[in-house]
Amino acid sequence: MIISRNLDYFEMLLDKRRNQNGIINADASDIEKIKNAFEKAHDIRKFEIGLYWQRSAYLWGFISVLAAACAYCFVASLDKDITNSSKMMYVAAIILISILGYILCNLWQKIMYASKYWQENWEFHIDMLEPYVSGNLHKIHFMKMSYRIPQRYSIHDIILSIIHRFYAIWYITSIASLLIFFNQAHQFIDFDDKFYDFNFFGISLLIGSYAIFELILLSLHRRKHKRRTPIDNIPSSELKVTLDKINCSKL
């Protein structure tokens, strides 16, 4: 079999060099290596997809617990029978929980990026190997001609959108709780006055801030969707094949 495409990749994979004609002559053992590599790339890709959802579910469980604790403290702080010091303790707890939730969302986002990187890494392997094993099956996609814009939504982008919403919720909650905490300490606004209401003030601040965030996120999503093309071509200048070097020799 003659290999004339992606020569840098196959030189690393097969540990062979191209000849003077700029091609690689693959023998029977090389073809077997390509088939084995293709199968392993598929298996590891499926394994990475499984890990992607497991890691996401793991962090989702932590954030759900924090959200329940935050809701409990918020409801408890609305009780008019508790003392001012107890109310401040509940608000302080909300601040700490919100900061911890924000940190977990940051870790969640980085883990998703890392998982997506390794999934795409093995997908690149499949794209390189499949022309010599199963044809271009992995690259072929069907699209209805009635669609003006291809309906190729990304699960990864949807997960990131959910993470960004949690980002906003934790951030807004922490800021609102800080304002309420300092107000309780210095009494800038007297919530005992009939003109002001603690419940209405806190809930309105959270809902209003989140509504603004959703409008901004929706606008950005529409712009990104309009710019999306049916086929995303990655130029060779932006994709580099590397080979990790492992030195097992003793010093």
* Mean pLDDT calculated for residue range 31-42: 91
- Look at residue 113 in the predicted model and tell me its pLDDT: 92
Burial (0-12, 13-18, 19+ Cβ within 10 Å), 189: middle
Average pLDDT over residues 207-231: 57
**Confidence band (pLDDT; 50, 70, 90) for 47?**
very high
Q: What is the reported pLDDT for 180?
A: 76
What pLDDT sits at residue 217?
Answer: 61
The residue with greater pLDDT, 93 or 1, is 93
Adjacent-strand bridge partners of 24: 3
> Which tokens in the block code for residue 194?
């009939």
Percentage above 90 pLDDT, the chain: 15
Residue 69: the pLDDT is: 92
Structure-model confidence comparison of residues 101 and 249, the more confident one = 101
Mean pLDDT of 169-195: 68
Nearest-angstrom CA–CA distance, 149 and 190? 54
For the purposes of burial, counting CB atoms within 10 Å of the CB of 190, is it exposed (0-12), middle (13-18) or buried (19 or more)? exposed
Give the DSSP letter of residue 134: T
C-alpha distance from residue 86 to each of 15, 92, 93, 108, 245 (Å)? 70, 10, 11, 33, 60
Least confident of 33-42, 77-86, 235-244: 235-244
Residue 239 pLDDT exceeds 70: no
Asked whether the predicted pLDDT for residue 223 surpasses 80, the reply is no
Pair of tokens at residue 95: 């601040």
Q: How far apart are CA 56 and CA 109, in angstroms?
A: 9
Q: Residue 196's closest CA among 187, 207, 185?
A: 187
250 vs 26 pLDDT, higher one: 26
* pTM given for the model: 0.71
Q: Tell me, what's the pLDDT at 66?
A: 92
CA angle 128, 132, 135 (to 5 degrees): 85
